[in-house]
Amino acid sequence: FGASSIQLNKLVPLICKLVTDSNSQVRQQAIDTLVEIYRHVGEKVRSDISKRDIPEAKLKILYEKFDDVVASGRMLVKEDGKSMILI
């Protein structure tokens, strides 16, 4: 199981659309979900969402949250794309 067993290339575009949903709870959950995916996958997510139709203000929020996850040490993947084991 894990990020490698999920077809993220099909999920991420759908989640990106939800970032601009009219319901604020849906928007927040979409952002939280992308952050969680980022924790498991890493910079590939940042690269992918930059190509999606996400407003600049929302992208800025996402990038800040991604940076916060990295700074906090909560990433589950290393820079080289290999999974880390957290103890």
- Domain ranges for the chain, please list them: 3-72
Write down the residue that tokens 């957290």 correspond to. Answer: 86
pLDDT value of residue 77: 84
Phi first, then psi: give them for residue 22, nearest 5 degrees.
Answer: -70, -20
Distance CA 59, CA 52 (A): 10
Phi first, then psi: give them for residue 10, nearest 5 degrees.
Answer: -95, -30
**pTM (2 d.p.):** 0.84
Q: How far is CA 80 from the centre of its chain?
A: 17
pLDDT in tens, 15-59: 999 999 999 999 999 999 999 999 999 999 999 999 999 999 999
Write down the residue that tokens 């009219």 correspond to. Answer: 22
